[in-house]
């Protein structure tokens, strides 16, 4: 039984400017529509093309999939622009950000949603396919984040939402490339959140579970309705809003929400010596015991914990 919480402060985005990548369809389209319906001006980015990243072009995307979403937003009384940049092209991404700034004066929100799939077991996967998936998901997110970073620093405000995945967090057969790229976005989020804190820039990650064009084949048909992508959108809105946390990995699907954490156990101290490898092997269960584990505020806390153990504290 869920507890009803009164909505005393609606999540309003009036006056905000958002860029949503990969927004010509699927979850990205719903993100763009939701932000626009709550008052944001939205630049809808999509290259177009197939799930594996082939067949798209900047010119066709801006006049087709992205433009169709823009038309939906405008028809509903909102403000939107179409853009067909590939997130793998940093110059095109910079021009995309300039398009939003020239039109609306600022960029408040970036939702890094663009992605592709080239699934195969690692034994059968071509390294070209591994690299391409990493380029789109990781380098695409890095390109877009870098392109908005100076603008957000100057205005002392920004909200960046990475799109990670349960595959990145926990693994999934046949998706080594996708999983590596998705967890890498979490690593990017961790540091950008630290660096952006003093500039009012909050950076978070969303791990969706939804039946989109990219994932519908992975779900049994009888759960498609429960896992419709609309159920993920509330988590994006929370992470993109001015009240958003920072350095949070929020998971969402079928109306359920969880948070994922990268934790550090209390650990043990064995010191230096020839027998340490054997001692560690014998004490591995104690070392990995999650009782009392913490969520470090930064990478430096690992070293601080190791120093604490060395001092016998």
Span 66-91, pLDDT tens digits: 999 999 999 999 999 999 999 999 99
Q: Flag whether pLDDT at 219 surpasses 80.
A: no
Q: Residue 7 CB: number of other CB atoms within 10 A?
A: 7
Question: Quick check: helix, strand or coil at residue 20?
Answer: strand
Any residues with CB less than 8 A from the CB of 226 and at least 6 apart, and which? 254, 255
Read off the pLDDT of residues 245-256 as tens digits, 9 standing for 90 and up. 999 999 999 999
Q: Which two tokens stand for residue 171?
A: 């693994």
What digits encode the pLDDT tens for the residues 155-176? 999 999 999 999 999 999 999 9
What single DSSP character describes residue 201? E
pLDDT band (50, 70, 90) for residue 48: confident
- Choose among 122, 129, 147, 114: nearest CA to 44: 114
Give backbone dihedrals phi and psi of 253, rounded to 5 degrees, phi first: 180, 140
More confident residue, 2 or 54: 54
Domain residue spans of the chain = 17-260, 263-313
Question: How many Å apart are CA 262 and CA 295, to the nearest integer?
Answer: 6
Residue whose entry in the numeric block shows the structure tokens 């003093």: 198
Buried b / exposed e along 202-231 (16+ C-beta atoms within 10 A): bbbbbbbbbbbebbeeeeeeeeeeebbbeb
User: DSSP string of 262-281?
Assistant: --B-------SSTTHHHHHH
Is 178 part of the annotated catalytic residue set?
Answer: yes
Q: What average pLDDT does the segment 129-152 reach?
A: 98
Contact between 203 and 162 under an 8 Å Cβ cutoff? The reply is yes
Point out the catalytic residue in the list 132, 149, 157, 178: 178
**CATH class as words, domain 17-260:** alpha beta
- What does pTM read for this prediction? 0.92
């Amino acid at each position: 039984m869920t507890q009803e919480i009164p909505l005393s402060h609606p999540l309003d985005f009036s006056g905000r400017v958002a860029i949503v990548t990969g927004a010509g369809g699927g979850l990205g389209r719903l993100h763009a529509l939701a932000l626009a319906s709550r008052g944001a001006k939205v630049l809808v980015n999509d290259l177009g093309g197939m799930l594996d990243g082939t067949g798209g072009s900047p010119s066709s995307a801006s006049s087709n999939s992205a433009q169709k979403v823009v038309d939906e937003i405008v028809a509903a009384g909102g403000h939107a622009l179409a853009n067909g940049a590939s997130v793998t092209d940093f110059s095109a991404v910079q021009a995309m950000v300039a398009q939003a700034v020239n039109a609306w004066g600022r960029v408040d929100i970036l939702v890094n949603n663009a992605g592709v799939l080239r699934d195969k077991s690692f034994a059968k996967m071509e390294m070209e396919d591994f690299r391409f998936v990493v380029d789109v998901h990781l380098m695409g997110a890095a390109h877009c984040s870098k392109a908005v970073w100076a603008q957000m620093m100057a205005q002392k405000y920004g909200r960046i939402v990475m799109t990670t995945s349960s595959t990145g967090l926990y693994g999934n057969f046949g998706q080594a490339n996708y999983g590596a790229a998705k967890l890498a976005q979490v690593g990017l989020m961790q540091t950008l959140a630290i660096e952006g804190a003093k500039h009012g820039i909050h950076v978070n990650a969303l791990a969706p579970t939804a039946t989109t064009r990219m994932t519908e084949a992975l779900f049994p048909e009888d759960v498609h309705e429960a896992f419709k992508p609309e159920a993920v959108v509330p988590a994006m809105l929370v992470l993109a809003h001015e009240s958003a946390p920072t350095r949070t990995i929020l998971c969402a699907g079928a109306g359920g929400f969880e948070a994922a954490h990268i934790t550090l156990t209390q650990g043990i101290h064995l010191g230096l010596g020839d027998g340490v490898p054997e001692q560690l092997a014998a004490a591995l269960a104690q070392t990995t015991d999650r009782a009392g584990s913490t969520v470090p505020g930064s990478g430096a806390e690992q070293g601080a914990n190791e120093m604490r153990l060395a001092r016998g504290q």
